[in-house]
Amino acid sequence: GAGVSQSPSNKVTEKGKDVELRCDPISGHTALYWYRQSLGQGLEFLIYFQGNSAPDKSGLPSDRFSAERTGGSVSTLTIQRTQQEDSAVYLCASSLAGGQGLYGYTFGSGTRLTVV
């Protein structure tokens, strides 16, 4: 597609439920990233994919968070047993190739997650 597409744009969930957030990167972008943006904060790195593998998962806050990427394209970020502190905007980005630096690093509009 023309840009990075994320769905849903907004999600309200009850505490303890699982949620799945989807990211569809720019066609041809092999690198994909997830970031989290809490209220009034900068972006916090969560995970990096190169193709279908995730060389860096160091930013995932707990084992309730997981992500996968299939076919070198769409990625899903899953949060299990959501907690109120998980409320944030989850942003996905993609770029041509992580190994060639950060050129063309393009963000989607994010999914705003609210845990009630």
Considering the complex, what minimum distance in angstroms separates the CB of residue 57 from another protein? 12
Q: List residues near another protein by CB under 8 A.
A: 4, 31, 33, 35, 39-45, 48, 50, 56, 91, 93, 95, 98-102, 105-110
Residue closer to another protein by CB (options 80, 109) is 109
Query: CB neighbours of 109 closer than 8 A, spacing ≥ 6?
Result: 6, 9
Considering the complex, what minimum distance in angstroms separates the CB of residue 70 from another protein? 20
Residue closer to another protein by CB (options 44, 66) is 44
C-alpha dist (Å) from residue 41 to 26, 35, 66, 72, 103: 26, 12, 22, 30, 24
| Cα-to-chain-centroid distance, residue 56 | 13
